Structure 1
Amino acid sequence: MTVAAVASRLGVAPATLRTWDRRYGLGPSGHTSGRHRRYGTKDIARLELMQRALLRGASPADAARYALSAPLPAERAPVEPVSLPVGVELLVSGGRRGAAEDYECDDGEDAPLLISGGDGGPLGISARGRQGGRGLKLPGASRTARGLSRAALAMDADAIQQVLAKALTDDGVVPTWNDVIRPVLCALAERWEHAGVGVEIERLLSEEIIVALSRVIALAPPPRNPRPVLLACVPEEQHSLPLYPLSCSLVLNGVSVRRLGASLPVDALVAAARRLSPAAVVLWAHLPRNADTSVFDALPKTRQRTRLFVGGPGWAAVDLPKHVQYLDDLESGTRRIVRAVLPGA
């Protein structure tokens, strides 16, 4: 197969294949009568091993060493999965980053971009800087965030879950959200704004983030507050993803929550507040047009005090009543809610 044909098959840029050939020796071994080099079956199999290693977070140099030394899939037992050797340095391990030339993520010819496409969709996350080219630019992002971006662009749900599970276990919810998930979501959002394509990648990543955080929530310790915290979006607000890391962070601190999700009608919010008599209510608004303060007046007056919080950029410019507190970020927001509903915490 030609360089172009292999690039199309693997979903990488032809320049990436040339870089792998020049830098790591993963090139075509065959020639045609016209002396044009062609990739054979074994050549492509080794490129696929490298791609799988990259999806699991290995640096390009380590992935190439693995691809060149590992038995090819045809040489394995049919039921045995391809797995990384112990010595492979994982992107998600938080260890030392390899040499800069082994880990370029720009759009130049030498960049080992995983796939040739991959754009994000409309997210409820603030984004900065223009994104272009074939991959996501993540200046200053962690190695784990770069591993997540690779998995997301390849739409590899298993790899996304592996990266997120390890980050959540090793670093916790707040660092994973701030340093791993948000940079990738911001880059995807900016790609969507710039190019207007690729909603499917944003949707897949968002769903996998919810799955990963939900697994953590399911294993959380028993709550210590008898009255739950109610988390919901204001009416018409569709961006509910940030409620999941907040929910996860709260339950890990022993706070019981009830998450009602996106675009909650006012009458449904009132009914839930009457039924649950929550210790606190958190209302999320990403878009300013949805941040309507009249929802505060609609909430029922209960016998026991209910603290009221709001979060999201939609509330940033709103003149809030004195009894409503604005949550600036996940870490401080979690602390404030915990202090409000768990006296002495």
Structure 2
Amino acid sequence: MRRVATGPDSLLGNPPREEMPEPSLPVAAVARRLGVAPSTLRTWDRRYGLGPRGHTTGRHRRYSPEDVARLELMQRALLRGASPAEAAEYALKVHAEPEKPAPQPIVVPGESTLAKGLGRAALAMDGLGVQRLLVEAIEADGVVACWDRVVRPVLTAVAGRWAHSGACVEVEHLLNECVLAAMIAATPLLGRARNPRPVLLSCAPDERHSLPLYVLRAALARREVGTQMLGAALPADALASAVRRTAPAAVVLWAQLPRHGDPAVFGRLPRTRQKIRMFVCGPGWALARLPSQVQRLDVLADAVDRIEAVVAGARE
């Protein structure tokens, strides 16, 4: 039965208007929107209670906007490395809160004035201010120091705010885009690199966090080390094809999340006549058991030094 609205029209003596039912979506439509299988939605409903609130036995599941919002919260948490149970708990908890606290300043650890300024500009959605601060930081200390001392602390603070309240997703997106643009602008075009064979830079298969690779490329280019950037989520077969076609001096694979740091990818790479050095970077490889020919580079600054030494030798 539809509810009858008792708003200004009825107070003025006009006939009361019927309130339209809230729009809802079937399982298939929600699955397409989230990019998951319908069976996944049923599993989330059965295991974690993330199904449609208005569903009753004998009726087809239909998801209200509130139901979809809960699922989107869960999906964001999964993309950031949470387990399904943790992601579901987070989605139910956040969505159950009737009100969210007023926005607070992003607390950036450390004493970096540039980092704190970057946090304030990002929170204010001041894209121009963010870009100016990034250019200033790069000109002062270089791309790696800008990343380590200015960008990473702010990204960490924004991620902490998101995990606590679900806020600042738009801030993170703005910051990522500005950092990407700044690192590309800080990457010189090399007419002639010191290394005759390039360094292949790629994320591990399914890994979409590619921003640190652009920092690494900029730092190497500033030392006249040539690279080939392949970016995020490159399938293993495509990586193997790239190795065959470019005959690189080295391959560097970045993994941010542990589930993407799979050493099996190195078994898919072709054997070549010329030796290829293999490196992994990023926290996603921390617990991986790597083949003997693969070297782990934990710190970005050390990665730049090591890769340069291997493919181009010491600078004069």
Query: Do these two structures clear the TM 0.5 threshold for a shared fold by scoring above it?
Result: yes
Q: What's 2:229 paired with?
A: 259
Q: What's 1:325 paired with?
A: 295
Give how far 1:334 is off: 0.5
Secondary structure at 1:272 match in 2: helix
Which residue of 181, 205, 209 corresponds with 1:235?
Answer: 205
Deviations 1:267-309 (A, max 9, x none): 1101111110011001111111111111101111111111000
Q: What's 2:163 paired with?
A: 193
Secondary structure at 2:211 match in 1: coil
- Whether 1:141 aligns to 2:114 is no
- Runs of 5+ consecutive residues of structure 2 not aligned to the other structure: 1-75, 82-101
Which residue of 81, 104, 126 corresponds with 1:156?
Answer: 126
- Whether 1:275 aligns to 2:275 is no
Q: How many correspondences in the alignment?
A: 220
Contact 2:194 2:224 in 1 (8 A): yes
Deviations 1:181-204 (A, max 9, x none): 111011011111111122111111
Q: Kindly tell me: are residues 252 and 124 of structure 1, through their superposed partners in 2, closer, same or farther at Cα, counting changes over 3 Å?
A: farther
Secondary structure at 2:187 match in 1: helix
Q: Kindly tell me: are residues 222 and 135 of structure 1, through their superposed partners in 2, closer, same or farther at Cα, counting changes over 3 Å?
A: farther
Counterpart CA distance in 2 for 1:159 and 1:232 is 30
Contact 2:109 2:153 in 1 (8 A): no
Supply the AA of the counterpart residue of 1:314. Answer: G
Counterpart CA distance in 2 for 1:142 and 1:218 is 27
Superposed counterparts of 1:199-218, under 5 Å = 199-218=169-188
- Runs of 5+ consecutive residues of structure 1 not aligned to the other structure: 1-120, 126-131
Secondary structure at 2:248 match in 1: coil
Which residue of 220, 225, 229 corresponds with 2:195?
Answer: 225
Contact 2:183 2:214 in 1 (8 A): yes
Which residue of 260, 264, 269 corresponds with 1:294?
Answer: 264
Contact 1:124 1:286 in 2 (8 A): no
Deviations 1:107-134 (A, max 9, x none): xxxxxxxxxxxxxx98989xxxxxx961
Counterpart CA distance in 2 for 1:140 and 1:185 is 13
Counterpart CA distance in 1 for 2:291 and 2:133 is 41
Pairwise CA RMSD: 2.1
Contact 1:228 1:280 in 2 (8 A): yes
Supply the AA of the counterpart residue of 2:123. Answer: L
Contact 1:124 1:241 in 2 (8 A): no
Give how far 1:220 is off: 6.0
Q: Select between 196-205 and 267-276 the one with higher mean Cα deviation.
A: 196-205
Contact 1:225 1:256 in 2 (8 A): yes
Supply the AA of the counterpart residue of 2:107. Answer: K
Secondary structure at 1:237 match in 2: coil
- Whether 1:178 aligns to 2:151 is no
Supply the AA of the counterpart residue of 1:146. Answer: K
Contact 1:221 1:254 in 2 (8 A): no
Contact 2:188 2:222 in 1 (8 A): no
Counterpart CA distance in 1 for 2:258 and 2:107 is 28
Percent of residue pairs identical: 50
Q: Kindly tell me: are residues 332 and 221 of structure 1, through their superposed partners in 2, closer, same or farther at Cα, counting changes over 3 Å?
A: farther
Contact 2:190 2:226 in 1 (8 A): no
Q: What's 2:279 paired with?
A: 309
Secondary structure at 2:229 match in 1: strand
The list of structure 1 runs, each at least 4 consecutive aligned residues, that deviate by more than 6 angstroms after superposition, is 121-125
Supply the AA of the counterpart residue of 1:291. Answer: G
Q: Kindly tell me: are residues 262 and 124 of structure 1, through their superposed partners in 2, closer, same or farther at Cα, counting changes over 3 Å?
A: farther
Counterpart CA distance in 2 for 1:221 and 1:199 is 39
Contact 1:141 1:183 in 2 (8 A): no
What is the TM-score of this pair, normalised by structure 1? Answer: 0.61
Contact 1:221 1:252 in 2 (8 A): no
Q: What's 2:218 paired with?
A: 248
Supply the AA of the counterpart residue of 2:310. Answer: A
Give how far 1:344 is off: 3.6
Which residue of 139, 154, 157 corresponds with 1:169?
Answer: 139
Supply the AA of the counterpart residue of 1:175. Answer: A
Q: What's 1:38 paired with?
A: none
Counterpart CA distance in 1 for 2:301 and 2:283 is 16
Counterpart CA distance in 2 for 1:259 and 1:219 is 13
Give how far 1:221 is off: 7.2
Structure with greater contact order relative to length (CA < 8 Å, sep ≥ 6): 1
Give how far 1:219 is off: 5.4
Deviations 1:65-111 (A, max 9, x none): xxxxxxxxxxxxxxxxxxxxxxxxxxxxxxxxxxxxxxxxxxxxxxx
Secondary structure at 1:242 match in 2: helix
